Amino acid sequence: MSFVIFSTISILAVIYFAVMPKNLNALELAMIMIVVVFVDSNFMDIAILNLHLFKLPDNHADIFTFYLTFTILYPIIVTWSIDRLSAIARKPLKLVPPLFAVLVIVGFESLTKYVKAVKYIDWNWKLDFVQWFSIWLVTYFIHLLYKKLIMKELKQ
């Protein structure tokens, strides 16, 4: 059941992301997605293997659900928010995309807990919020550095 729910959500997110107008170029979008997957997979390796904060179920559908959300759905949400952030001109409104993206991811992670796709041990939504906000910040700053590097290379 969890695989059906999250595969449907992921397919809708991929379709929406594919057809929406984008502000960033394809290289920037790909770089953002790769950074999110890299940072999140490293965090999850530490959290699951070393700290034992999560436990993956034995059911194959739930394991596929876990990998589907962490390799496709969450990177798309973070990439979408950074892309939308580049279109917003007013400073106070620049807080909306990151907070919305992090809250949506925390909500989806609560749904994975509810459908028992992942078992959380000593973990709550506050830690989840801090985790995803820090992943978002790291990704955003790496994107800024990447953009600065590309602009510097184009000027030469």
The segments of the chain whose pLDDT lies below 50 read none
Sequence-distant (≥ 6) Cβ neighbours of residue 123 within 8 angstroms: 53, 54
What is this structure's pTM?
0.91
pLDDT of res. 123: 81
| DSSP 3-state percent helix, strand, coil across the chain (nearest 5) | 80, 5, 20
pLDDT of res. 10: 93
pLDDT of res. 38: 94
pLDDT of res. 58: 86
Q: Count other Cβ atoms within 10 Å, centred on residue 85.
A: 19
